[in-house]
Amino acid sequence: MTYPIALTIFCAAFALVTLAGFWAGRWRRPATGMHSLEEWGLAGRSFGTLITWFLIGGDLYTAYTIIAVPAAMYGAGAMGFFAIPYCILLYPYMMVTLPRLWTICTRNGYVTFADFVKGRFGLRPLTLAVAITGILSLMPYIALQLVGMRVVLEALGLKGNWPLTVAFLILAAYTYSSGLRAPAIIAVVKDVMLYIMVLAAVIILPWKLGGFAHIFQVARATLPTHTPPGSILLKPGQMLPYITLALGSSVALLLYPHTATGMLSAKSANTIKRNAALLPAYSIVLALLAVLGYVAIAAGVTGPDKNAVIPQLFLHGFPEWFAGFCLSAVAIGALVPAAIMSIAASNLFTRNVWGEFKRVRGTDLQESNMAKAVSLLVKFGALIFVLDDKSGYAIDMQLLGGIWIAQLFPSVMLGAFVRKLHPWALFCGWAAGMASGTAMAATLHLKSSVYPVHLFGHTYGTYAAIPALLLNLIVSFVLTPIFSAMKLRDRSNTAVAFAEVSDANIETRVPAH
């Protein structure tokens, strides 16, 4: 079934953000052009509170989030709501850690967290481990944005591979020319549309369906009939998985390279602090979006693909023109994070993979040209993966990516505060966490990230990232005094003058270059 009016609105909105993406290359462009990684990949570290709020919000609340969270509520019920406490835990963690990391990275000209680890610990294997883990964790995340966009395109009646290919050719073109400025501008458009969409959906649709009381009654009766059965309240065995998913996901999210890219583009540490206070507004939006899963149940939306329930709900619950507007917001929500993620992956490869193998840092122009080329390869790699109809595998790999990225916590987050950790101990801890986390996910056939931990005769369902990270931390702290006593290579006391930064001495603005 096709929806010509909705499709027209969708195409108009897509054309608008395309023009905005290309225009962004002229916005705040320095006279010398974007011939450095700092300018192309971090927009010159120039974004204030408002733009950073839109950028990080667009970065963290992706198109797939908009589709997958309500779909999880639609299919499983209360268990899918873990995304809300996870976001609540996120922002105090952000307030404590990111301003300090911003100060350290900005003072030393670091573009990635792997740059920070290199400067802090001076160990090439650890730097490469952080960079490669970041890139591997990002690739399925980018692919999921394509999955979200394909769901929208198919709901509008655009079948086949060509619509998605055209959309991402356009994305690749304006990201190449405008760098991080493009998703920053588009994020403003996307978020305004998203807020309008959510407010309309939580007011109009429940009113048409008889109110929230009726919606929850229908959900309570319907969820137990699903396969597997769901419920609107957590079952006793779901408590620990729910808690550990929320905790582990919040630990992991700030370690993703695209989060680092958005954070390092801010012009001051105070900008990061203000955003940690303001970004919870997105959590309110996400909570309202999650409830739309129950609204879809009450509206009688059915189908084999749970990810399609929100597009179908909009198409059947709104006038066609407004459904087109809502689906445009979801699709544009894929463009922002996909662009930032591809930039983040290219920054990591240029600085911390290729740069480590060459051992000699390239010129600013060489770095920016390589990053642009790699960003194209990353996007097309993700596109080919999705066009090959492996979207289910992308979801599985993203679950594994969350487990992997959490293993950077000791090197990055603790590394910003704790001076005595030995770099080889951190490397061994990373290897232990990666191996154990991967083994747990493989045991579950990559279909779930909740692993049954057997302890003292009891079984505890736990997000696999948590026991893997605990093992990582134990290995890191136990081996640090051993390796220090053995006098293994350790530059942590000689290579890191920036480690003396105190909370009272946090830089508030970008230093003059």
Q: 36-94, pLDDT tens digit by residue?
A: 888 899 988 989 999 999 998 888 888 778 888 899 899 989 998 988 898 889 999 99
Q: Strand, helix or coil at 312?
A: helix
Nearest one of 172, 180, 185, 181 to 373, comparing CA atoms: 172
Structure tokens at 408: 């950077």
**Closest to 97 measured CA to CA, from 398, 344, 434, 408:** 408
Residue 499, pLDDT score: 42
Alpha helices in 223-268 (DSSP H): 239-253, 257-264
- Identify the structural domains of the chain with CATH numbers, from first to last: 4-409 (1.20.1730.10)
pLDDT in tens, 96-136: 999 999 999 999 999 999 999 999 998 999 999 999 999 99
The per-residue pLDDT for range 388-421, each reduced to its tens digit, is 655 555 666 778 889 999 999 999 999 999 888 9
Distance CA 387, CA 137 (A): 20
Q: Are 305 and 151 in contact (CB under 8 A)?
A: yes
Region 422-450: what's the mean pLDDT?
Answer: 93
Structure confidence by residue, pLDDT tens digits, 163-179: 888 888 888 888 888 89
Tokens matching residue 40 = 């192309």
Is residue 172 within 8 Å of residue 22, measured between CB atoms? Answer: no
pLDDT at 496: 42
CB 349 within 8 A of CB 113: no
First to last CA, the chain: 57
135 vs 485: CA distance, rounded Å = 34
- Taking the C-alpha atoms of residue 176 and residue 170, their distance in angstroms, rounded to an integer, is 10
Alpha carbon distance 235, 228 (integer Å): 13
Structure token digits, residue 391: 């979207």
User: Which pLDDT tens digit goes with each residue over 9-42?
Assistant: 999 998 998 899 899 878 777 766 667 888 899 9
R_g (Cα) of the chain, nearest Å: 23
CA geometry: angle 216, 221, 226, nearest 5 deg: 110
DSSP state of 47: B
Q: How far apart, in whole angstroms, are the C-alpha atoms of residue 223 and residue 216?
A: 10
